Each structure stands twice: as structure tokens, then as C-alpha cells.
Amino acid sequence: MTDTLVNAAPAASDLPAPAYEVRTLGCQMNAHDSERITGLLEEAGYVPAVDRDPDLVVFNTCAVRENADNKLYGQLGQLAPAKKRNERMQIAVGGCLAQKDRSTIVEKAPWVDVVFGTHNIGSLPVLLERARHNHQAEVEILESLETFPSTLPTKREQAYAGWVSISVGCNNTCTFCIVPQLRGKEKDRRPGDILAEVQALVDSGAVEVTLLGQNVNSYGVEFGDRGAFAKLLRACGEIEGLERVRFTSPHPAAFTDDVIDAMAETPNVMPQLHMPLQSGSDQILKDMRRSYRSKKFLGILERVREQIPNAAITTDIIVGFPGETEEDFQATMDVVEASEFSSAFTFQYSIRPGTPAGEMANQVPHHIVQERFERLTALQDRISARLNQQLVGSTVEVLVSAHQGRKSESTHRLSGRSQDQRLVHFSVPEGAESPRPGDFVTVPVTAAAAYHLLADPKDSTEYSLRRSRGGDAWEAAQAESCGTDGSGKPGTVGLGMPALRTN
């Protein structure tokens, strides 16, 4: 692969190296794929577009909801004038929407140069060179995985934390979901390969790792070990220097007690769980082909909280699935009330062509879906605010993030995540040392809203800073990319993506 990439590098000339920008439209799986795309591009001679217009824009797309289509084609339209002004400029579209739409993308936006799918990310540099040489769009979509993505070069978004894929694809047949068609059947990595990647991340300074899969708790079925995921969590607990382990997303149908035991008994596995509900109606769950019912779902949450009383549980919910009656919706409201989620990702159902649900006749009118959606989000907002308010007066340990809140400049607060993944905006007392992204602070919760906590220590006696290897790694990465003078003072983080302020 390396020889191919070297050959695919942009031809040498008096022009500066072409600058790239990657725009990620999607979930954590997409974001992790974008890290691989940036790694591939930099190995092929591209540089991040910092303080200059990009010569290459790569869209890494999602196809789960209809607004993903609208967002992509809207942004492609906005780039058309720039493409006319810069004859060197190229545009590439990859990810799930590319796998689904294929040549349709070039038909709708003929100024796109490359379309590549979820199975052949590694081909991108070659496809760009081919499109440049042939002066025509290159569309290459494979039906099966070309190479496991984790073998590709990767440029991590943050030095102190990283994603690690344990599997790709999905064996479920949910009627609303197009992901199995686009990413294929589940393919599991061997435990040794996963743990080697985790160890390499820790050796490079990471203090937090998130294990990724479309259905992480079915991990191991492919090689005949149904207990493999729990074993993997415990093995992560043996890695010295790894302070926080998270995972997403499990499936309630396959979620077993050995995973709960591993979570409770492995100190660095965080007290946080994302457990997708989708609907609280047993009839709708049946129509969705979700092979669990509300009683089983609530039973899982009960057993988790028995062993991990402080666990924060989040979820996904779809409102307005075809055939959903008011009674079905009320069942969802009842389960949400009983579940006490710390937060919920709520979505209005949208038809995805190619899915069984998209062909169902009993689609729910939009105005009804909207009204139910507003009722559900209002309920969840109240629950989230109440649960967060109960934390006022407690003390939390926060892993400081490089991504700061929109109001950070006016409030002079920094941001990070607590052990249970709650967002915390905190201030540094006058005279106290400021943390770097990747460091840890321990602070008192002084106020709360529905989706964040505020921590404003009165003085240095209420504030504790623990400088970490993660902070060291962040500082070294900034110095290497000329983001700082090596002092650790925050600046602009250049990731080949839109610039992010860290102060």
C-alpha cells in the first residue's frame, strides 16, 4: 500500500503541496474513518489547509437520515464556484452516502472528481491521481472490504484520546437502517490486533480510548467467542497508563451480564453506557425488527445500575416510525420516564430508500411526528436537567478537551468531560495553573443545565490540576505542528478540518 501511495502523490512542480480539508458528516465511525483519510492524504503528499483555500475537499458522508443528503448536496453546490476559480481543485465524496448513491453524485454534481465507498478508503489517493490524469470523474465502489481500515495510516484528531475500531459492518436487519447494506456484514478484528493498537495509542500519550463498532457487544461471534467483548474490556483494564475506556454502541438484544460485570469490575471502564432504545412500544420494536422488548430493555438498565449506581445512560430514539400510534408513542414516553436517561439523541423518522420501512404504507404525517418529537424532547430536557441538578455540590474529575464551548471566550471557561461523559464547563481560579487539553482537573459542580454542568471553584482550594501524559502529548503535537511555541499555551488546532479554537 505504501508504494502505491507514493506513486499516487501529486506530481512535483513549482506549486506548493496541495492543501486538503476533510468534512465529516456523520457518526463516530465516520469521524474515525476521517482520521484514516487524513493519514492517507498526508502520506501521499497533501498538507492541511491552514490559512489558505483547500485544493482538495473530501466529504466523508452519512446516509442514516435524509438531512445528510441535503447537507452534502448543499455544500457541494457552494463549492462549485471555487472549483471554477481553481483549476487545481478536486472534490471527493466518500462514506455511506457515496456507497449508496454511487454515480448519482456525479450526475447531480458533475464537478465532483472522485466518489469512493466505505470498503475502499485506501484507494482515495490513487483515484484522485487518476481523475487528475484522465480529466474525468472516478467512481469506485466495492461491495466488500478491500482491507481492514485500521491497517491504513491514521492521523489522530487528538493526541490524548483516540477511537479504536473493533469491528466493521453489522449483521442486524433493522427495517429503518441502511447501514448493513452500505458497510456489509460484521467483520471482527482479532483481540491481539485491537489491544496492540490501544497500546500504541497509550504509548503515544493517549489517556482515553473509545472502542467502536456498529454493535460492539456482538464482537467475537465471527470467530466463535461470544464472551470476547467482556474479555476485551478486562484486557483494556490491564494496560498501564490507559485511564479511561469507553465503547459505542451496543445492541440491547445482545447485551449480556458478563459485559456489565466487566464494566463494574474494570476500574478504567467509565461509568457511562449508550444503549439505543429506538422505541418504547413493543409493536413498533417488532416492526423495526429490534429483537428485544421494552421489559428486557428496562431490565438491562436495572442490572447496570445495580452494579454501577452512578452510571450515566444515554440512548437513541426514533419518533414517527411507520404505523406509530399515539398509544405507541406514549409507550416510548413511559419508557423514557422510567429509564432516566442522562441524555437522548432523538430523531424524526425519515424514509431511507432501500430499507423495508421506507416501503411501508402507513407513514406518519410530518405534523404529527413534529408534535410528538417536541413532546419527547421536552420530557428528556426535564429529566436531564433534574439529574444534572442533583450533581450540584459534588466533585467531578474532568478530562480537559481541546474543543471549547461557543461561549468560552466570553465566560473564560474551559471544557471537558467527566468520567460519566457529561460535558463540564469550568473556570480556573485566579492564580491557579491552567490545564492543557489532555490534563485532568477536579472541580466542584456549582450549577447545572439540561446538557452541561458548570464548575466555578471559589479559589485554589477547590481546584486540583493533574498534568498528564495526555497533556504532554497534546503539547508536543502542537509544537510539532507550529501551533504553539512549545509552552503549551492553547492556539488553533489544525487538523485538515475547519480550525477549532482551544481558548
What is the Cα Rg of the chain in Å? 23
Taking the C-alpha atoms of residue 443 and residue 427, their distance in angstroms, rounded to an integer, is 9
Q: What band does 496 get if pLDDT is binned at 50, 70 and 90?
A: very low
Q: What band does 5 get if pLDDT is binned at 50, 70 and 90?
A: very low
With b for 16 or more beta-carbon neighbours within 10 A and e for fewer, the 108-135 pattern comes to: ebebbbbbbbbbbbbbbbbbbbbbbeee
Chain-centroid distance, C-alpha 89 = 28
For the chain, the first-to-last Cα distance in angstroms comes to 39
DSSP-based helix, strand, coil % in the chain, nearest 5: 40, 20, 40
Q: What is the pLDDT of residue 14?
A: 63
**What DSSP assignment string belongs to 127-191?**
HHHHHHHHTS-EEE--SS-SS-GGGS----S-SSEEEEESEES-----TT--HHHHH-S-EEPPH
Least Cα distance to 23 among 45, 1, 48 occurs for 48
Locus of grid cell 464472551: 227
Binding-site residues from annotation for [4Fe-4S] cluster: 27, 62, 96, 170, 174, 177
Which of 138-147, 171-180, 212-221, 320-329 shows the lowest mean pLDDT across its residues? 138-147
Locus of grid cell 482550594: 461
Binding-site residues from annotation: 27, 62, 96, 170, 174, 177
Residues 70-126 have pLDDT tens digits of 888 899 999 999 999 888 899 999 888 888 888 889 999 999 999 988 878 888 888
Contact predicate 422/468, CB 8 Å: no
Average pLDDT (474-490) is 62
Contact predicate 185/299, CB 8 Å: no
Taking the C-alpha atoms of residue 199 and residue 305, their distance in angstroms, rounded to an integer, is 30
**Of 168-172, 211-215, 302-306, highest mean pLDDT:** 302-306
Taking the C-alpha atoms of residue 260 and residue 241, their distance in angstroms, rounded to an integer, is 23
Residues 252-306 have pLDDT tens digits of 999 999 999 999 999 999 999 999 999 999 999 999 999 999 999 999 999 999 9
Q: What is the pLDDT of residue 16?
A: 82
Amino acid, res. 315: T
Taking the C-alpha atoms of residue 312 and residue 328, their distance in angstroms, rounded to an integer, is 26
Q: What is the pLDDT of residue 432?
A: 96
Average pLDDT (168-182) is 84
Q: What is the pLDDT of residue 144?
A: 63
Determine whether 60 is exposed, middle or buried from the number of CB atoms within 10 Å of its CB (0-12, 13-18, 19+): buried
With b for 16 or more beta-carbon neighbours within 10 A and e for fewer, the 358-382 pattern comes to: beeeebbeeeebeebbeebeebbee
Taking the C-alpha atoms of residue 493 and residue 403, their distance in angstroms, rounded to an integer, is 9
**Can you read off the three cell numbers belonging to residue 137?**
470523474
β-strand partners of 317? 278, 346
Q: Please give the backbone phi and psi of residue 23, each rounded to the nearest 5 degrees, phi first.
A: -110, 120
Contact predicate 102/94, CB 8 Å: no
- Which domains are assigned to the chain? 2-140 (3.40.50.2300), 151-389 (3.80.30.20), 395-501 (2.40.50)
Which of 1-10, 144-153, 377-386, 410-419 shows the lowest mean pLDDT across its residues? 1-10
Q: What is the pLDDT of residue 492?
A: 33
Q: 487: Cβ–Cβ under 8 A, 6 or more apart, which residues?
A: none
Amino acid, res. 470: G
Angle, nearest 10°, between helix axes 124-134 and 28-43?
A: 60
Taking the C-alpha atoms of residue 210 and residue 161, their distance in angstroms, rounded to an integer, is 8
Residues 43-72 have pLDDT tens digits of 888 999 988 889 999 998 877 666 677 888
Predicted structure pTM score: 0.78
Residues 426-458 have pLDDT tens digits of 999 999 999 999 999 999 999 999 999 999 999
Chain-centroid distance, C-alpha 4 = 29
Average pLDDT (22-39) is 82
Taking the C-alpha atoms of residue 387 and residue 222, their distance in angstroms, rounded to an integer, is 39
Q: What is the pLDDT of residue 35?
A: 85
Which of 74-83, 111-120, 226-235, 308-317 shows the lowest mean pLDDT across its residues? 111-120
Q: How does the average pLDDT of the chain come out, rounded?
A: 87
Percent of the chain with pLDDT over 90: 60
DSSP 493: E
With b for 16 or more beta-carbon neighbours within 10 A and e for fewer, the 385-403 pattern comes to: eebbeebeeeebbbbbbbe
Taking the C-alpha atoms of residue 467 and residue 20, their distance in angstroms, rounded to an integer, is 33
Taking the C-alpha atoms of residue 332 and residue 477, their distance in angstroms, rounded to an integer, is 46
Contact predicate 108/137, CB 8 Å: no
